[in-house]
A and B are shown apart, each in its own frame.
Chain A
Amino acid sequence: MSTRTAVEARSVTKRFGPTIALNSAGIAIAEGETHALVGRNGAGKSTLVSILTGLQRPDEGEVLFGGEPAPPLPDRDAWRRRVACVYQKSTIIPTLTVAENLFLNRQSEGGPIRWGALRARARQLLEQYGVAVDAEALAGDLGVEQRQLVEIARALSFGARFIILDEPTAQLDGPAIERLFDRMRALREQGVTMMFISHHLDEVYEICQSVTVFRDARHVVTSTVADLPQDELVAAMTGEATAAFQARARKTGGADTAPVLSVRGLGLADRYHDIDLTVRPGEIVGLAGSGSSGKVSLAESLVGLRKADTGTVAIKGKEVRQGDVPSALRAGLGFVPQDRHHEGFVSMLSIAENATLPIAHKLGRFGTVSPARRRERGAQMIADLDIKTTGPDQPVGDLSGGNAQKVVMARALSDDPAVLVVINPTAGVDVKAKQSLLGAVEDAAERGAGAVLVSDEAEDLRICDRVLVMFHGRVVRDLPRGWTVQELVAVMEGIDHQ
């Protein structure tokens, strides 16, 4: 591998009003390597991405591509020939076709657009990068993985040899991540330089050669991954030595205690079939499986976000009406939905208001809500879950991903639920937030609640007393504590069904 520097940011400083997003931070990426950028939420990663892609101008410092100074900001085409980026937020326009998205704003070289030729070019481009997507499909109809592949193909089509992947794995399931990594390896063999951002440190070790850590808007360390073991990497990110997450030993109610959640013969066409599930007080049951296994649909049916076709769900022995969230909540259920932005919180309302929505009726009499009592509860939740905020009155929309997720968790826990259903609580949150979120689930179990935890991440499922593995809509295995990741993945992938 050559040691030429493909891209470099030198002592870059960027301020947004009073907050410093980057404080004289820098990164240098050698040509042909896959370089990880890690850091907790708010470490300055996103700001660096927008500076490296020319969307924002640094207040101080400079950006170099192959030793040459970066082009002026308005020259978008010049930037795109040097750097391609697959942003965390999708830059696909859902109402347009894949073909048009690929050639957005360059559909023709002046003159009218020739749609036939455009589609042909699109198909050729998709083929070149081995993306099996119909060029004429509406981009909004694509799945996350396909959309991302289209974005990668588009990014590379400008001829850039350096590509930034900003949390590409956050919304993908295991097999899709593997396919993405295969693709990244193939690109690396072709000499493409990559910067990879992820909260999953195991991915960093799997796919990257070197890693740069940012913390509190500063550069902390750059090293090859081989020279930086995981505990040191975590220490660099958090600024303290933290042990890897340890699941606590808990006592669950025995087989004789009455179950808090019992599911009988639940089925939903094309999603899952014949699900029986019993959760006892103090028990945490994990649900694992690939993206098409039906685990999320099942969990959403438990809380009433989806309506099952057949079967029953009972909470504390009382049957709940299917597809009716309020009745599930009344029966003593709390939940953290998969998409916190859509179903998790109202971003303009304050933390206190969001977290107390389900218990608003308990905060005052005759339909009134006492602001003082709400604030008090909000403050207590902020303390319980260690939410980083200016106070209970701050709108949730202003919080970082991990802290917003804690508010959603606080809301789920606000009514002291008998059953807690949590779907992918740690998606896109950093190491420390992950610990407090999982810790909150364990706390709830210790208080006697039963919990169902759906997660794409094996490490999250460590807190579970047992993990049910789903495959194509059926529970195929019930793994007790002590499973290995290989074992879990093998069952999830359908290799090992006994």
Chain B
Amino acid sequence: MTTQTATATTSGSRFRLGRFRDLTLVPVIIVLLVAGALVDPVFLTPSNLTNVLQQQSALALVVLAETLILIAGKFDLSLESTVGAAPALAVMLVIPVSAGGFGFGVPGVLAIPLCLLIGAALGAFNGFLILRFQLSAFVVTLAMLIVVRGLQLGFTGGSSLFELPESFLYLGSATFIGVPVAIWITAVLFLVGILTLRYFRHGRALYAIGGNADAARAAGVRVERVVWAVFIIGGILAALAGLLETGRLGGISANQGDGWIFMVFAAAVIGGVSMDGGKGTILGALTGVLVIGLVENILTLQGVPGEWKQLVYGAIILVALMISRVAGGKAQD
């Protein structure tokens, strides 16, 4: 009898391309850096690169949130509305009626905790609808995107908020060792995310749930609880992103965060995060953010009119997808 023993794949020392799948966008980033340096001498200066990072830090936090949710096999479109509504509603609880607030006289120091709390509450509500009512995450969060944006528009009457508490502006505008605090915060949170998803059981549980929820449940993972927690963390991160964006711009416009979700998904997906769940890394998503940030910066430096930027973004995302598909080898999900 010809024995066909279960083929033993050769042992551990084998070169594994999969380990570098996170980094498939690195060549793209290098190309962009070179291209940027060639087209404009300003591009490679520290102040310009810091500027790029600061501009992207808020978006990056939302990408972090979305990546966690996508890895767990779910979806959240409403994060972009949270970016606007959480800081707006928190600030309105604090500032007087004359500045466009509710006039409740809540102490100013509570503005930041309130902002994060509102983000958490929105995430919790999403989780409640999706897990308890067993609704589709896509549809629920699409509705929530509209509802939350509607909340902000309704309460603010569509106008921007400018008279904000000092503490509220601090995080988005201060610097620490010459680097904006927003970048520090984002960097630390990404590091925490990367380490948690790589080295901790609760982080690995996200991959298990996104890969095969029934198998995760059978292995004793409390699937519902973890997913709910991920939605809440996502809401908090989006609120924090709103806070940083508010500090950077010095006010909250009625459309803060509007349209971000497309960029967020683009960054996550070109960074190798699967829309089907269970696949991708935060480091990969970060490279996605950097690609988008660098493209945006180069376009701005080149003075490309705003009307044409959209087209260029879209085209660049498609090219980046094709490159990462070729480099990663596997079909895009």
Contacts and interface: CB of A to CB of B under 8 A. Distances in A.
Nearest to B202: A105
B214 A132 contact: no
A301 to B, nearest CB: 22
A132 B219 contact: no
Given A104-B221, A105-B205, 13 more contacts: A76-B219, A91-B219, A96-B208, A96-B278, A104-B215, A105-B201, A105-B216, A105-B221, A123-B12, A135-B12, A143-B6, A146-B6, A494-B1
With most chain A CB atoms within 10 A of its CB, the pick from B12, B205, B210, B215 is B215
B280 to A, nearest CB: 9
Q: Is the interface of A mostly helix, strand, loop or mixed?
A: loop
B16 A136 contact: yes
Contact of B212 (A92, A112, A132): A92
Interface of A: 55, 76-77, 80, 87, 89-96, 100, 104-108, 112-113, 119, 123, 131-138, 143, 145-146, 149, 175, 179, 290, 292, 493-495
A107 B204 contact: yes
A106 B218 CA distance: 13
B275 to A, nearest CB: 13
A119 B208 contact: no
Contacts of A146: 6-7
Given A90-B215, A133-B8, A138-B18, A95 B210 contact: yes
B133 interface: no
Given A100-B204, A179-B6, A94 B211 contact: yes
A456 to B, nearest CB: 15
Q: How large is the interface on B (under 10, 10 to 19, 20 to 34, 35 or more residues)?
A: 35 or more
9 contacts: A87-B218, A91-B218, A93-B216, A95-B207, A105-B220, A113-B199, A136-B12, A143-B7, A494-B2
Interface string B196-231: 001111001101101110111011110000000000
B204 A76 contact: no
Contacts of A87: 218
A166 B11 CA distance: 30
A146 B16 CA distance: 20
B149 interface: no
A17 to B, nearest CB: 16
A106 B200 CA distance: 10
Nearest to A93: B211
A132 B6 contact: yes
B279 interface: yes
Contacts of B11: 134
A55 B218 contact: yes
Contacts of B219: 76, 91, 104-105
Given A76-B220, A105-B216, A133 B4 contact: no
A136 B18 CA distance: 10
A74 to B, nearest CB: 9
Interface in B4-25: 4-12, 14, 16, 18
A90 B215 CA distance: 8
B8 A113 contact: no
Given A105-B205, A493-B1, A112 B6 contact: no
Contacts of A292: 4
B220 A77 contact: yes
A95 B274 CA distance: 11
Nearest to B8: A132
Contacts of B216: 93, 104-105
B9 A93 contact: no
A465 B195 CA distance: 63
Nearest to B210: A95
A95 B279 contact: yes
Contacts of B18: 138
Contact of A137 (B9, B198, B218, B278): B9
A175 to B, nearest CB: 6
Nearest to A471: B2
Contacts of A145: 6
Contacts of A93: 207-208, 211-212, 215-216, 278
Nearest to B13: A136
With most chain B CB atoms within 10 A of its CB, the pick from A107, A149, A292 is A107
Nearest to B5: A132
Nearest to A154: B219
Nearest to A110: B201
A405 B274 CA distance: 32
Contacts of B200: 108, 112-113
Nearest to A175: B4
A93 B212 CA distance: 5
B302 to A, nearest CB: 40
Contacts of A138: 18
Contacts of B2: 493-494
With most chain A CB atoms within 10 A of its CB, the pick from B208, B214, B218 is B218
Contacts of A96: 204, 207-208, 211, 278
A96 B278 CA distance: 8
The 4 closest A-B pairs by CB, nearest first: A93-B211, A132-B8, A134-B9, A76-B220
Nearest to A151: B215
B214 to A, nearest CB: 7
A131 B198 CA distance: 26
B208 A134 contact: no
With most chain A CB atoms within 10 A of its CB, the pick from B5, B11, B219 is B219
B205 A94 contact: no
A119 B12 contact: yes
B69 to A, nearest CB: 16
A89 B12 contact: no
Contacts of B1: 175, 493-495
B12 A290 contact: no
Contacts of A137: 9
B258 to A, nearest CB: 33
Contacts of B4: 175, 290, 292
Contacts of B6: 131-133, 143, 145-146, 149, 179
A92 B5 CA distance: 21
Nearest to B12: A136
Nearest to A489: B1
B204 A91 contact: no
A55 B2 CA distance: 41
Contacts of B9: 133-134, 137
Nearest to A98: B9
A237 to B, nearest CB: 28
A94 B8 contact: no
A89 to B, nearest CB: 7
Contacts of B215: 90-93, 104
Contacts of B12: 119, 123, 134-136
Contacts of B205: 105
Contacts of A143: 6-7
A310 to B, nearest CB: 26
A227 B274 CA distance: 55
Nearest to A91: B215
B15 to A, nearest CB: 11
B289 to A, nearest CB: 22
